[in-house]
């Protein structure tokens, strides 16, 4: 029988075990999730750290394992040292970065040992070598790398390039040393009253600071033109020194000092100018030679000469120049003080005999001295003025508030050291203009005064005065004359210019501005010739300049181009100016614009030519008209006697023929008289028009009928094309115009055609008369409508005429407000066209 109780109990236990297992699985899953979260956070932390290390571009960050093999190399390391991560990680040991010939490897080994033993970080300064071989000074911060168990597995190094900083620190230290050296030299130059002492102490100081093997100070004697050593300092055991005397401008040092510029050579044994030193320098292994002239202003005092076994740094080179300038000032100060002592009496004599007034006064304005010229200028004797305030003779120099403070020059420092114009006051109370030059007397002292005495030293000023009354009067006269000349130049209508020898414009007057179109600002400073005579016209400038070389130029015509491009004719008179050495300095030009005058001259010439031509034409006209009048009169007078005798009359047919000849001659004579009358009216301006509407086609047919009679003997037919319309004009004059043109066409046409056309165009009537006659040349077409003109062909001369017909025709057309023209070709005929407004 089965024990059900036991089976049931086992099931309960089994459920409990299953539940326990389920809880355990749940805990394990939770722990696994937590582990994943930790790993994720650790990964993100590592990524952040990686980014931080990589972003440090100016820091070299390098990680190594326990053997020193590189396992990490950031971009900063690549930037500073030049190696890529691929070249270094796992490939090289960190020791390849350190030079083998320095203490760096030893220092690195000691620091690594300390880190491994103490498990603490440390810093050090070492040398590192870049890929290109450059040595860098690096500041390393080294720290241990640990595993999860806390064991050191390597080292992480963060490096900073401190090469530039170290250089700056070195330079700063050098500057401090140089500053102390300069201070020492300045004290020597300022506190000693003997040139020899200044040179001896300076030579010792320079020899000690610069570590030269030989330092020498030379003094220049200007009267003898020689340099001589006055002080020296040398290394122990040095002998057989180079020569200690040389002439200025001769050999090495004499030549160098003459140039007054510092001279530094790193290869002195190769310098040709130092040949006399070669043997001595080679014997003493001299690597650098330096000479710095002692110069004040442009005056040579001497020179500093140093020989070195080591090259001299740039900063120290400049320091040497600065120290030399301090020594030069000290020498000059001592010499000036000694010269002042030695020449005091001489200066007094010079002041007493000076051509200008010389006086001295103290800071409070009290006059200390007065020379004889000052007595004459101001009217005071020296005994009268000494002790009085300078305000009594130069009132404008002293201001009340400055006098109150006891310093008369307090507010007038701008007058010290410069020449000023001021008003002086004579003893008689009269004022006068004068030049005043004030200087403060600063006498170098042999020794520094005690502090208690320093504030009681009196300031002394020296004033030099000159009465400029006469000069002012001359200046006023000169100014008035200059103003007068300037006003004349500015107001003259002539062009006035001033040019330098190279053609640059210096002055122009208003007339020149107006004519050229250029303002003074636009042309002054520019080349006059190239501006006003551009391009091809520049040849006339060359011709003018050649004339100037030969002497003064008078009334020379030139064509200049204005700013607007207009060409103007100007006649120039040129004078030249010379300096005191008879050298040509500039050119002054006076020009007259004769453009309008030239135009008037051309117009007058043309008018004269036209008058001559008119007189000739009138003479020709009189000959022609006399011939034209005589011909019909001859016919009439020649036939009249045949009819005078009733008893001897010709046959009726002959009488009829005579009558016809007389009639034709009479009509011809009447036509000539009509032309002359019309010409007279037109010339007198008394030709009147009687305008009224009329049918154009009827008028044209009437004219053609009259002219056909003239054309029949030549077997010519007059063709016409006439539009039908009315025209308001002088019918008789229009008919006369057409008749003149048609009769002219018939006269000069022997065969071919004659055509008449009339057309209505807009507000005017257009008439054309065309023929196939002899035609006109281009020259004849230009004068065909002039008075007294006839064409010059032989067949024309054979034809009769006065030369007034076409001229009268042109005038009649123009009186109607119209216009007439001709187009023609020789041998092919002519076309006359005229139009008349529809309502004249």
Per-residue pLDDT reduced to its tens digit, 235-251: 988 888 888 999 998 88
Q: Is 179 left (phi over 0), alpha (psi -120 to 50) or beta?
A: alpha
Indicate whether 446 pLDDT > 50.
no
Indicate whether 611 pLDDT > 80.
no
- Give the model's pLDDT for residue 53: 55
Quick one: what percent of the chain has pLDDT higher than 90? 17
Inter-helix orientation angle 595-639/652-684, to 10°: 160
CA angle 500, 502, 503 (to 5 degrees): 65
Non-local (6+) Cβ contacts of 422 within 8 A are 394, 396, 397, 433, 434, 436
Indicate whether 564 pLDDT > 50.
yes
* Separation CA 436–CA 7 (nearest Å): 141
- Give the model's pLDDT for residue 794: 40
* Separation CA 713–CA 709 (nearest Å): 8
* Separation CA 816–CA 692 (nearest Å): 12
- Give the model's pLDDT for residue 452: 41
Evaluate the CA torsion angle 164, 166, 169, 173 in order and state its sign.
negative
H or E segment to which residue 499 belongs = strand 495-500
Mean pLDDT of 718-746: 89
Among 308, 271, 305, 306, residue whose Cα is nearest residue 288: 308
Are 517 and 493 in contact by the 8 Å Cβ rule? The answer is: no
Among 276, 239, 281, 233, residue whose Cα is nearest residue 254: 276
* Separation CA 98–CA 89 (nearest Å): 17
* Separation CA 252–CA 291 (nearest Å): 10
Name 92's bridge partners: none
Quick one: what percent of the chain has pLDDT higher than 70? 83
CA atoms within 13 A on the CB side of 656: 3
CA atoms within 13 A on the CB side of 790: 24
| Residue indicated by tokens 């025709």 | 809
* Separation CA 637–CA 575 (nearest Å): 79
Strands 754-761 and 431-441: unpaired
Q: In what order do the strands lie in the sheet with 505-508?
A: 505-508, 495-500, 584-593, 567-578, 553-561
Are 121 and 144 in contact by the 8 Å Cβ rule? The answer is: yes
Indicate whether 793 pLDDT > 50.
no
Length of the chain: 840
* Separation CA 114–CA 49 (nearest Å): 26
Strands 214-221 and 299-308: antiparallel
SS (H, E, C) 210-233: HCCCEEEEEEEECCCCEEEEEEEE
Lowest mean pLDDT among 567-581, 643-657, 780-794: 780-794
Tokens of 693: 């509407």
* Separation CA 527–CA 549 (nearest Å): 19
Identify the residue with better confidence: 292 or 619: 292
Mean pLDDT of 424-433: 92
* Separation CA 81–CA 83 (nearest Å): 6
Lowest mean pLDDT among 488-502, 512-526, 817-831: 488-502
Identify the residue with better confidence: 640 or 197: 197
Non-local (6+) Cβ contacts of 295 within 8 A are 260, 301, 328
* Separation CA 734–CA 737 (nearest Å): 5
* Separation CA 129–CA 426 (nearest Å): 86
Identify the residue with better confidence: 458 or 675: 675
Within the chain, what is the greatest distance between any pair of CA atoms?
215
How does residue 765 score in pLDDT terms, banded at 50, 70 and 90?
Answer: very high
How does residue 426 score in pLDDT terms, banded at 50, 70 and 90?
Answer: very high
- Give the model's pLDDT for residue 693: 92
Indicate whether 412 pLDDT > 50.
yes
Mean pLDDT of 479-495: 78
């Amino acid at each position: 029988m089965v024990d059900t109780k036991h089976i049931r109990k086992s099931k309960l236990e089994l459920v409990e075990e299953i539940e326990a297992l389920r809880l355990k699985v749940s805990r394990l899953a939770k722990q696994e999730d937590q582990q994943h979260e930790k790993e994720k956070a650790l990964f993100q932390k590592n990524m952040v750290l990686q980014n931080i290390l990589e972003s440090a571009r100016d820091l070299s960050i390098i990680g190594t394992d326990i053997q020193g093999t590189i396992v990490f190399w950031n971009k900063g390391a690549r930037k500073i040292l030049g190696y890529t991560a691929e070249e270094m990680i796992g490939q090289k040991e960190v020791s390849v970065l350190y030079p083998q010939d320095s203490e760096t490897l030893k220092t690195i080994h000691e620091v690594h040992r300390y880190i491994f033993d103490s498990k603490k970080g440390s810093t050090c300064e070492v040398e590192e070598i870049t890929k290109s071989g450059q040595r860098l000074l690096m500041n390393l911060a080294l720290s241990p790398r640990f595993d999860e168990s806390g064991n050191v597995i390597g080292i992480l190094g963060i490096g900073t390039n401190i090469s530039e900083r170290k250089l700056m620190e070195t330079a700063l230290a050098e500057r401090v040393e140089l500053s102390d050296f300069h201070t020492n030299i300045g004290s020597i130059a300022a506190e000693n009253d003997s040139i020899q002492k200044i040179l001896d102490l300076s030579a010792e100081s320079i020899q000690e600071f610069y570590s030269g093997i030989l330092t020498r100070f030379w003094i220049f004697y200007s009267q003898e033109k020689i340099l001589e050593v006055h002080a020296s300092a040398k290394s122990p055991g040095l002998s057989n020194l180079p020569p200690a005397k040389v002439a200025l401008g001769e050999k090495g040092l004499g030549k160098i000092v003459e140039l007054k510029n510092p001279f530094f050579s790193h290869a002195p044994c190769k310098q040709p100018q130092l040949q006399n030193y070669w043997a001595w320098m080679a014997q003493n292994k001299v690597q650098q030679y330096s000479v710095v002239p002692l110069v004040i202003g442009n005056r040579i005092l001497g020179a500093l000469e140093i020989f070195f076994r080591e090259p001299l740094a740039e900063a120290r080179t400049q320091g040497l120049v600065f120290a030399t300038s301090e020594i030069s000032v000290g020498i000059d100060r001592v010499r000036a003080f000694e010269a002042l002592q030695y020449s005091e009496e001489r200066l007094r004599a010079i002041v007493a005999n000076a051509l200008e007034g010389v006086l001295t006064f103290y800071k409070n304005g009290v006059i200390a001295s007065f020379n004889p010229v000052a007595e004459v200028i101001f009217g005071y004797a020296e005994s009268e003025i000494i002790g009085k305030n300078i305000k009594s003779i130069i009132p404008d120099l002293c201001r009340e508030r400055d006098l109150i403070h006891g310093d008369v020059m307090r507010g007038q420092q701008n007058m010290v050291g410069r020449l000023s114009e001021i008003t002086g006051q004579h003893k008689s109370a009269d004022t006068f203009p004068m030049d005043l030059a004030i200087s403060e007397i600063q006498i170098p002292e042999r020794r520094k005064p005690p502090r208690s005495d320093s504030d009681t030293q009196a300031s002394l000023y020296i004033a030099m005065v000159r009465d400029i009354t006469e000069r002012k009067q001359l200046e006023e006269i000169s100014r008035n004359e200059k103003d007068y000349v300037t006003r004349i130049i500015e107001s003259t209508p002539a062009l006035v210019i001033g040019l330098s020898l190279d053609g640059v414009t210096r002055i122009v007057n208003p007339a020149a501005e107006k004519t050229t179109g250029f303002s003074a600002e636009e042309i002054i400073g520019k080349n006059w010739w190239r501006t006003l005579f551009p391009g091809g016209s520049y040849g006339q400038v060359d011709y003018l300049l050649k004339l100037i070389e030969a002497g003064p130029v008078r009334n020379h015509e030139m064509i200049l181009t204005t700013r607007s491009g207009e060409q103007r004719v100007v006649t120039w008179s040129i004078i030249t100016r010379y300096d005191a050495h008879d050298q040509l300095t500039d050119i002054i030009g006076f020009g007259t614009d004769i453009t309008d005058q030239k135009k008037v001259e051309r117009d007058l010439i043309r008018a004269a030519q036209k008058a001559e031509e008119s007189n000739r034409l009138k003479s020709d006209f009189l000959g022609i008209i006399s011939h034209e009048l005589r011909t019909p009169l001859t016919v009439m007078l020649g036939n009249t006697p045949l009819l005078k005798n009733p008893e001897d009359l010709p046959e009726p047919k002959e009488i009829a023929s005579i009558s016809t000849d007389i009639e034709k001659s009479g009509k011809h004579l009447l036509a000539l008289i009509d032309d002359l009358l019309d010409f007279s009216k037109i010339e007198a301006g008394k030709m009147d028009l009687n305008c009224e509407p009329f049918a154009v086609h009827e008028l044209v047919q009437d004219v053609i009928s009259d002219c056909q009679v003239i054309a029949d003997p030549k077997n010519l037919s007059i063709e016409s094309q006439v539009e039908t319309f009315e025209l308001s004009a002088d019918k008789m004059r229009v008919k006369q115009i057409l008749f003149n043109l048609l009769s002219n066409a018939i006269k000069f046409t022997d065969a071919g055609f004659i055509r008449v056309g009339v057309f209505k165009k807009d507000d005017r009537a257009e008439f054309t008369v065309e023929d196939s006659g002899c035609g006109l040349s281009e020259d004849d077409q230009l004068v065909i409508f002039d008075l007294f003109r006839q064409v010059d062909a032989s067949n024309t001369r054979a034809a009769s005429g006065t030369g007034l017909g076409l001229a009268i025709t042109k005038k009649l057309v123009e009186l109607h407000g119209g216009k007439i023209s001709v187009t023609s070709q020789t041998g092919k005929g002519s076309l006359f066209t005229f139009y008349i407004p529809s309502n004249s």
